């Protein structure tokens, strides 16, 4: 006691502050961090709680009790990551950590079974199968009856909940979408069993040993048009019926300039499909991008025309729950500002917001989380975060079309461009020549 008193006096005389770990037992340090997060996070993120159905009192009780069982920095890191996940925020997580995450790989890679799924109604279907999975007899369009011996939809919902315990999902559609892709991944060498039914009613069981790289990220379109030209991770070309087609897999900083090159390929098309499925976000000049779809020398609402060959014809934008962050703001503005007709099987991820960083008192790490929704004017003034961008028209995938190589979303987009949009759905009208 005398030694500790002497050290405190010495630090005070020298104008120094002893390290927290020297003064306070680690259990108290951890408890203080948890209490700090539970108190501070709601001050800027609390306005999302009702929309996201978050019961923060229950979260507080859970983690104030759980921290009592924490004894190491790594245990503390994992617990606080779970706490931050309770914000139901796709961007939220731990940053600037001085504590290393525990390595549980044992030299293995994290990999998928080369199968992607999609929920249609209350049933689950194969959206894509490739590599070993396809060779084993799993085909696009098959109904997935069971995964690991459990009803497929129940398995996916349980997986979405399990994933949501350690990472945030801004919406239910984002969580289920992620379960259909990343949720199938595990350490290389682990096995997963599917029970499937094909279009003729024949059933089969297939066991896949996970092996390979990060093949659980969805590409976007199920069956893209042939002979597309690549522009970075994006691509452009024409559909079989002659409509222009652009797939935006991501939002690069120079998207406006990239669009100039892509639009040069399709500028004379009678209509354009802007397919944004699976868009992982990024950042760009939104007004400059929108201006590429405004007739030269004119202005549509707040957007003046930009670029050498802006596209002035009718547009259909395709979205899904894989569209997040800047993908949602770019895709959503075509709907909100009346330039295009938007379709998709669900709303987008609802993961689009301004973020802040909050350091915990111990200095071990910081929390990164959403504080204001992007595009606050969207959705009648509710913004995007926690909601997503809902399409003008919900277009579920057709299992029969999946089985025969037809992309339902692209097929419906072509129909709309050929026949016209529902009356009053799109205020913008292409110029008459």
Q: Phi, psi at residue 366, to the nearest 5°? A: -130, 155
Secondary structure of the chain in the HEC alphabet?
CHHHHHHHHHHHHHCCCCCHHHHCCHHHHHHHHHHHHHHHHHHHHHHHHHHHCCCHHHHHHHHHHHHHHCCCHHHHHHHHHHHHHCCCCCCCEEECCCCCCCCCCCCCCEECCCEEEEEECCEEEEEEECHHHHHCCCCCCCEEEEECCEEHHHHHHHHHHHHHCCCCCCCHHHHHHHHCCHHHCEECCCEEEEEEECCCCCEEEEEEECCCCCCCCCCCCCCCCCCCEEECCEEEEECCCCCEEEECCCECCCHHHHHHHHHHHHCCCCCEEEECCCCCCECCCHHHHHHCCCCCCCEECCEECCCCCCCCCCEEEEECCCCCCHHHHHHHHHHHCCCCEEEECCCCCCCCEEEEEEECCCCCCEEEEEEEECCCCHHHHCCCCCCCCCCCEECCCCHHHHHCCCCHHHHHHHHHHHHCCCCCCCCCCCCCC
pLDDT-derived band at 433 (thresholds 50, 70, 90) equals low
84-108 in b/e burial notation, b at 16+ Cβ within 10 A? Answer: bbbbbbbbbbbeeeebeeeeeeeee
Mean pLDDT along residues 390-419: 97
106-110 mean pLDDT: 91
Give per-residue pLDDT as tens, 136-173: 999 999 999 999 999 999 999 999 999 999 999 999 99
Contact partners, residue 83, CB within 8 Å, separation at least 6: 34, 37, 38, 59, 63
C-alpha 212, offset from chain centre:
23
Reported as a single tens digit per residue, the pLDDT across 178-197 is 999 999 999 999 999 999 99
Neighbours of 274 (CB within 10 A): 23
Residue 100, pLDDT above cutoff 70: yes
Q: Is 112 exposed, middle or buried (0-12, 13-18, 19+ CB in 10 A)?
A: buried
pLDDT in tens, 11-33: 444 444 444 445 578 999 999 99
Which residue intervals of the chain bear CATH 3.90.226.10? 229-352+388-419
> What is 110-209's CATH number?
2.30.42.10
Cα–Cα nearest to 52, from 175, 211, 229, 207: 175
As its CATH architecture, domain 229-352+388-419 has Alpha-Beta Complex (3.90)
**pLDDT average, residue stretch 44-52:** 96
List, for residues 261-292, the tens digit of each pLDDT value: 999 999 899 999 999 999 999 999 999 999 99
What is the share, in percent, of the chain residues with pLDDT greater than 70?
94
Is residue 119 pLDDT above 60, yes or no? yes
What pLDDT, on the 0 to 100 scale, is given for residue 232? 94
* pLDDT tens-digit series, residues 350-393: 999 999 999 999 999 999 999 999 999 999 999 999 999 999 99
d(CA 26, CA 45): 28
According to the model, what pLDDT value does residue 20 have? Answer: 45
Tell me, what's the pLDDT at 139? 96
Pairing relation of β-strands 229-231 and 234-238? antiparallel
The pLDDT value recorded for residue 8 is 43
**Residue 6 to residues 3, 11, 12, 15: CA-CA distances in angstroms?**
5, 9, 10, 14
Mean pLDDT for all residues in the chain: 93
For CATH 2.30.42.10, list the domain ranges present in the chain: 110-209
C-beta separation of 228 from 245 below 8 A: yes
CA distance 109 to 100: 18
Cβ-count burial of 202 within 10 angstroms (0-12 exposed, 13-18 middle, 19+ buried)? Answer: exposed
Residue 9 confidence (pLDDT):
43
pLDDT in tens, 313-354: 999 999 999 999 999 999 999 999 999 999 999 999 999 999
| Cα–Cα distance, 211 to 192 (Å, whole number) | 11
pLDDT of residue 23: 57
CA atoms in the 13 A half-sphere facing the CB of 71: 1
Identify the CA nearest to 364 among candidates 21, 17, 1.
Answer: 21
What pLDDT does residue 214 have?
A: 72
pLDDT of residue 216: 80
Domain with CATH 3.30.750 in the chain: 16-104+355-376
Compute φ and ψ for 94, nearest 5 degrees.
-90, 130
The answer to whether 266 and 313 have CB atoms below 8 angstroms apart is no
The CATH number corresponding to 16-104+355-376 among 3.30.750, 3.50.40, 1.10.10, 3.40.50 equals 3.30.750
Q: What's the confidence (pLDDT) of residue 26?
A: 92
Pairing verdict, β 341-344 and 393-394: parallel
């Amino acid at each position: 006691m005398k030694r500790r008193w002497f050290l405190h006096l010495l630090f005070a005389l020298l104008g120094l502050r002893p390290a927290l770990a020297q003064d306070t037992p680690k259990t108290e340090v951890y408890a203080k961090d948890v209490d700090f997060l539970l108190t501070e996070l709601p001050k800027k993120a609390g306005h999302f709680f009702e929309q996201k159905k978050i019961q923060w009192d229950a979260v507080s009780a859970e983690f104030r009790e759980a921290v009592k069982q924490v004894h190491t920095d790594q245990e503390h890191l994992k617990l606080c990551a779970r706490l931050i996940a309770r914000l139901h925020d796709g961007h939220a997580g731990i940053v600037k950590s001085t504590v290393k995450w525990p390595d549980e790989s044992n030299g293995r890679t994290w990999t998928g079974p080369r199968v992607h799924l999609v929920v249609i109604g209350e049933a689950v279907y194969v959206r894509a199968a490739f590599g070993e999975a396809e060779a084993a007899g799993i085909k696009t369009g098959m109904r997935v009856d069971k995964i690991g011996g459990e009803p497929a939809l129940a398995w996916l919902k349980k997986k979405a909940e399990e994933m949501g315990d350690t990472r945030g999902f801004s919406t239910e559609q984002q969580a289920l979408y992620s379960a259909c892709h990343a949720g199938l991944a595990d350490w290389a060498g682990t096995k997963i069993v599917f029970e499937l039914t094909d279009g003729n009613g024949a059933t089969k069981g297939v066991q896949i040993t996970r092996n390979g790289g990060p093949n659980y990220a969805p590409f976007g379109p199920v069956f893209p048009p042939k002979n597309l030209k690549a522009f970075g991770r994006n691509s452009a070309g024409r559909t079989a019926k002659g409509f222009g087609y652009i797939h935006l897999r991501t939002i690069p900083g120079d998207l406006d300039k990239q669009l100039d090159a892509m639009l040069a390929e399709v500028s004379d098309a009678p209509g354009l499909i802007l397919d944004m499925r699976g868009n992982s976000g990024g950042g760009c000049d939104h007004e400059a991008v929108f201006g590429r779809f405004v007739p030269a020398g004119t202005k549509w609402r707040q957007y003046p025309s930009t670029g050498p060959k802006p596209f002035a014809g009718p547009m259909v934008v395709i979205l899904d729950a894989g569209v997040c962050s800047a993908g949602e703001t770019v895709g959503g503005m075509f709907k909100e500002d009346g330039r295009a007709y938007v379709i998709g099987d669900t709303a987008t991820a609802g993961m689009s917001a301004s973020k802040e960083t909050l350091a915990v008192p111990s200095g071990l790490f910081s929390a990164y989380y959403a504080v204001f929704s992007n595009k606050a004017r969207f959705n009648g003034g509710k913004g995007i975060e926690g909601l997503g961008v809902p399409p003008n028209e919900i277009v579920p995938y057709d299992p029969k079309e999946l089985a025969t190589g037809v992309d339902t979303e692209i097929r419906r987009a072509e129909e709309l461009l050929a026949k016209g949009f529902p009356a009053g759905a799109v205020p913008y009208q292409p110029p008459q020549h």
